[in-house]
Structure 1
């Protein structure tokens, strides 16, 4: 069994409308699914991605209107990367972010790639990463109706950064349980600390975890602008059950099989407390909506459909 790469990342926001404005208007991502948190239908769950929300392109947000600000720190998913086609695209984005007044660090190099670190309106840590020399997992397809220039558009998730106090606790989970392999190290441009890179599947930009070992910082306090979990791609439901068997045999506490309608999942925490999810590539977001109208109306899985009226009353309207 082999994980195919990053599936999605789920983060926290306090303001669904501002979130939609930032990620669709400025970043030009497509809102491919407007739905609710299936465990708490009183809150939105918004999915952004490429033109159809292919696995490996999905950045999602839970709206929690009473949530406090995230306090960055250890035991965390500390940065989410977003892939763009090439180095030229980074120059486009540097200019676009500057003109929009978005805080960024300029174009720097990270593990042999050009990257552009920046933050969103809630201080979410993001990095645009060039796919110019990518030899691994293929990216998604740019959205032709993007508010940003599709030529330079965001085409998927790149390396996900973890910050942990003790790499020795996390590494065996990645390598022995999940079959990631070490592919190198680099020195972080800000902290000057070593970052260890792990990859899975075909490797490359869409299949890496960058792990920062930082015993010198306090634990994160999760809030808006923070990341709830990262999910890794599993081929299909049959293989998902094999992964659950592997987790159980290793005595790793987990959620068991969870049907999210758009994909099937299992959740568990690695020893430093970071929440991981394994998620199948299918059936996908066109299961209940046509490709042309993805994200335009509130989509609910069948088991919540009978509560639609009640759920819609609890949600604010979103314009886009």
Structure 2
């Protein structure tokens, strides 16, 4: 699957990703204290601009670095937020890049010192990650890339055969077994 250079849509990156939160102020303070994300702006309305529905909300925006923005909605008149009980808690998550394995380990120490339970680091072959939950129950991952250019090129090369095999068998393809052979 390749896109022609004449595709009509030219994306410029992610403008923002938005999730629901239980308490906007608590969420802003947590992301600042735990991850150092700067609170940059907010929108608050009683009527949803895109639908015209009366549904008061606070929409807060946090700087996630490199022009990436993470946003949250607090919806006080909606039912209490939950999660998709049909999807394991480890599946849906927010993943942020850190610059090195050393930064990842320092982040783990800092986050643990904030009273947050941290899992990892977990070795994924081309990156290592730590995992924890924010006060809203969203799983957060910090990842440090450790792969080589050759490894990334090989992963790109086997991406389509892996997808095709998965689509056909619904079993984990073995095209990239080498990724986990070097686990520490």
Mark yes or no: TM-score above 0.5: yes
Does the 8 Å contact 2:61/2:70 carry over to 1? Answer: yes
Q: Relative to structure 1, is the Cα distance of residues 209 and 243 closer, same or farther in structure 2, using a 3 angstrom cutoff? A: same
Asked if residue 255 in structure 1 is aligned to residue 119 in structure 2, the reply is yes
Counterpart CA distance in 2 for 1:257 and 1:292 is 24
Structure 1: unaligned runs, 5 residues or longer: 1-23, 25-144, 306-320
TM-aligned CA deviation for residue 183 of structure 1: 0.9
Matching of residues 170-181 of structure 1 within 5 Å: 170-181=27-38
Q: Match for residue 302 of structure 1? A: 178
- Structure-2 separation of matches of 1:158 and 1:281: 23
Partners of 2:98 and 2:143 within 8 A in 1: yes
Q: Aligned in 2, Cα 1:185/1:168: closer, same or farther, shift over 3 Å?
A: closer
Retained in 1: the 8 A contact 2:37–2:62? Answer: yes
User: TM-score scaled to structure 2, two decimals?
Assistant: 0.70
Structure 1: how far apart are the matches of 2:179 and 2:158?
20
Match of 1:57 in 2: none
Instruction: Show structure 2 runs of 5+ residues with no match.
Output: 163-174
- Say yes or no: does 1:201 pair with 2:65: yes
The correspondence for 2:23, drawn from 155, 162, 166, is: 166
Q: Shift of residue 246 of structure 1?
A: 0.6
Paired residues of 1:286 and 1:294 also in contact (CA < 8 A): no
Q: In the alignment, is the contact (CA less than 8 A) between 2:126 and 2:179 conserved in 1?
A: no
For residues 148 and 73 of structure 2, the distance between their equivalents in structure 1, rounded to whole angstroms, comes to 32
Describe the superposition over 1:84-138 as per-residue Cα deviations: whole angstroms up to 9, x where unpaired. xxxxxxxxxxxxxxxxxxxxxxxxxxxxxxxxxxxxxxxxxxxxxxxxxxxxxxx
Q: 1:212 aligns with which of 73, 91, 104?
A: 73
The two structures, once aligned, show a CA RMSD in angstroms of 3.0
Structure 1 residue corresponding to 2:3, chosen from 123, 146, 154? 146
The 1:251–1:221 alpha-carbon spacing in structure 2 relative to 1, beyond 3 Å, is closer
1:244 is aligned, of 108, 112, 134, to 108
Deviation, structure 1 residue 158: 3.5
Instruction: Report the CA distance between 1:271 and its aligned residue.
Output: 1.3
Cα distance in 2 for residues equivalent to 1:265 and 1:208: 21
Q: Classify 1:279/1:164 alpha carbon distance in 2 versus 1 (closer, same or farther; 3 Å).
A: same
Partner of 1:33: none
Please identify which structure carries the higher strand content. 1
Contact 1:186 1:196 (8 Å CA) reproduced: yes
* 2:116 aligned counterpart, secondary structure: coil
Mapped partners of 1:260, 1:155: distance in 2: 28
Distance, in Å, in 2 between the alignment partners of 1:250 and 1:260 is 26
1:212-242 CA distance string (max 9 Å, x none):
0123233234147xx7111011111111111
In structure 2, the residue matched to 1:182 is: 39
Higher relative contact order (CA 8 A, sep 6+): 1
CA gap of 1:151–1:235, structure 2 versus 1, over 3 A, is: farther
Local SS of the residue matching 1:194:
strand
In 1, are the aligned partners of 2:58 and 2:75 still within 8 Å (CA)? Answer: no
Aligned to 2:98: 234
> What is the TM-score normalised by the length of structure 1?
0.43
